[in-house]
């Protein structure tokens, strides 16, 4: 068995920065290669520039670094994706196929593909959404991720590739800023509350969405990837859940710490995207198969976010 060498694509993103650090804690710094089209700030070596649309460079990196596992995070998210649908499809889906083919060629042992609640659409039951439901996503991001899930299943069934996937809810963390999604408001609101004492939200006050604290998302990812093979019964995205709230509810939670905090609402094009997603998720398959359990709810997440962000703004 070759020693574990992990490639992370999109390592400079909101999740990539934190996941790369955690993987380095688990496997050792030199065993995790961060790649992105943007250089990571600070000491993030080893790092290589990798545009995931460049198959030749991907193959060179897999060969030069003896890569055995790939965490393929590079993507364009739901809100930004709508500005250039064809580019989004290329980065999110065509590049995934490039990674799959290279994974076969280089006999990659394990691969992670992050999916999303954006695979759901207006025909999906909105409450306690089950694992297998109608998917009719209405963003190019959602279409690319729903299709990506099907390709995960295909590469596992056809070629035996050990690919694993999660449908992340909106991820909230203090360590990094979000990169152009519809759930970004739930990170921005903490920064603006501390910086200016007010926030103008781009979603309506009663828009309920599934969300998760970063620490839980990272733990879920590592647990899924470390689970024994016989525990993994789904090769497309496992539903994953921790909490659901509205902009009004998160604002109320912040007011417990910053009583003068004010929120106003000015919904924009992202409202239609959020309204097409579901409100809460049934993740019993993840819980039953590999023992998933979240740690944070809205209250404990808010305490921890403000604890970490306060020093930045005081």
State the residue number with the nearest CB to ligand NAD: 13
> 108 vs 218, which CB is nearer to ligand NAD?
218
**Residue 25 burial (C-beta neighbours within 10 Å; 0-12, 13-18, 19+):** exposed
Alpha-carbon span 101 to 98, nearest angstrom: 5
Residue of 47, 71, 141, 154 marked catalytic? 141
Nearer to ligand SER, 5 or 167 (CB): 167
Q: Are strands 209-213 and 6-9 parallel, antiparallel or unpaired?
A: unpaired
β pairing state of 209-213 and 243-245: antiparallel
Q: Any contact of residue 16 with ligand NAD (CB under 6 A)?
A: yes
254 CB neighbour count, 10 Å cutoff: 21
Say which entry of ligand NAD, ligand SER, none residue 136 contacts (CB below 5 to 8 A, set by partner kind): none
- 36 φ/ψ angles, rounded to the nearest 5 degrees: -170, 175
Say which entry of ligand NAD, ligand SER, none residue 58 contacts (CB below 5 to 8 A, set by partner kind).
none
Q: Tokens 């064809």 correspond to what residue?
A: 86
Which residue of 6, 23, 70, 73 would you call a contact of ligand NAD, by CB under 6 A?
Answer: 73
One symbol per residue from 167 to 206: x for binding ligand NAD (CB under 6 A), - otherwise; what is it? -x-xx------xxxx-x-----------------------
Rounded CA-CA distance 121/275 in Å is 9
Structure tokens that stand for 172 in this block: 């909230």
Residue ranges in contact with ligand NAD by CB under 6 A: 9-10, 12-16, 36-38, 50-53, 73-77, 91, 114, 116, 168, 170-171, 178-181, 183
* Residues that are catalytic: 141
């Amino acid at each position: 068995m070759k020693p574990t060498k992990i490639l992370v694509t999109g390592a400079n993103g909101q999740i990539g920065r934190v996941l790369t650090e955690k993987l380095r804690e688990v496997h050792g710094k030199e065993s995790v290669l961060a790649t992105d089209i943007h250089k990571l700030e600070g000491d993030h070596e080893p790092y290589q520039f990798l545009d995931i649309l460049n198959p030749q460079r991907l193959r060179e990196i897999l060969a030069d670094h003896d890569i055995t596992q790939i965490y393929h995070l590079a993507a364009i998210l739901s809100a930004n994706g709508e500005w250039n649908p064809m580019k989004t499809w290329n980065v999110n889906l065509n590049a995934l196929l490039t990674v799959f083919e290279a994974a076969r060629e280089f006999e990659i042992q394990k691969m992670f593909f992050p999916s999303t609640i954006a695979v759901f659409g207006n025909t999906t039951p909105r409450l306690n959404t089950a694992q297998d439901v109608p998917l009719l996503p209405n963003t190019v991001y959602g279409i690319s991720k729903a299709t990506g899930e099907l390709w995960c299943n295909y590469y596992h069934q056809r070629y035996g590739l050990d690919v694993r996937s999660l449908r992340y809810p909106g991820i909230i963390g203090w360590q990094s800023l979000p990169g152009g999604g519809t759930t970004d408001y739930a990170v921005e609101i903490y920064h603006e509350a501390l910086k200016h004492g007010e926030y103008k939200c781009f979603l309506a006050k009663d828009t309920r969405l599934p969300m998760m604290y970063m620490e839980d998302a990272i733990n879920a990812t590592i647990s899924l990837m470390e689970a024994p093979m016989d525990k993994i019964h789904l090769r497309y995205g496992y539903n994953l859940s921790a909490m659901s709230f509205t902009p009004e509810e998160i604002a109320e939670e912040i007011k417990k710490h910053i009583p003068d905090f004010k929120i106003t609402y000015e919904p924009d094009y992202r409202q239609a995207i959020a309204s097409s997603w579901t409100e809460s998720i049934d993740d019993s398959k993840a819980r039953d198969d590999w023992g998933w359990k979240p740690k944070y709810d809205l209250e404990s997440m808010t305490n921890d976010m403000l604890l970490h962000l306060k020093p930045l703004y005081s």
